[in-house]
Structure 1
Amino acid sequence: MQIFKHLNKDLPASLVVLFVAVPLCLGIALASGAPLISGIIAGVVGGIVVGMLSGSSLGVSGPAAGLAVIVLNAIDQLGAFDIFLLSVVIAGVIQLIMG
């Protein structure tokens, strides 16, 4: 199978990315005041989406630590994490509609 052709090189590379991305995702979720599981979910979904939509065979994506302050401020102003999450979903839908 073509998927397993480069597994001996892809597996160690993916473990390195995992060991870097998981603490970063957890740290940003914690600094943002969001539940820790949301950091893990964001990292997994982000990796899958970027992997599927990217035209490159090589790529690394991850969260930006600078967004933690913006997210914390937005959660504070909106009053709850659930409302913030809804606003992110609505913003994503608007971006998809606009192209």
Structure 2
Amino acid sequence: MSGDLDMHHAEQVGAALARALSEAPQEADVIIDLTYSSFCDSSGLNTLLTAHRQALRSGRRLRLGAPSHQLVRLMESTNTVGLFAMGPMPPNSERLD
């Protein structure tokens, strides 16, 4: 994704994540590429948490690729940072546009 993960984009991002999770193979890692997203508000975090719960229910894992410092700080302040696997984007990742 690119741009802000905020109240103006949360619904669209949530729908894309729901689709990606439903189309991913069982036990797959679904990685959200956050390389080009530098801001996340509480609406965006709620969208990520909803997708995280959906992933767990469906036997998949939601990972955050290249999260911004601001997003990590938001998750630290809300005690949600431990819910997500995070790291750099793996090379040759399949993209859902």
TM-score norm. by structure 1 comes to 0.27
| Higher-RCO chain (CA-CA 8 Å, sequence separation at least 6) | 2
Decide which structure has greater strand share.
2
Higher share in helix: 1
Higher radius of gyration, 1 or 2 = 1
TM-score by length of 2: 0.27
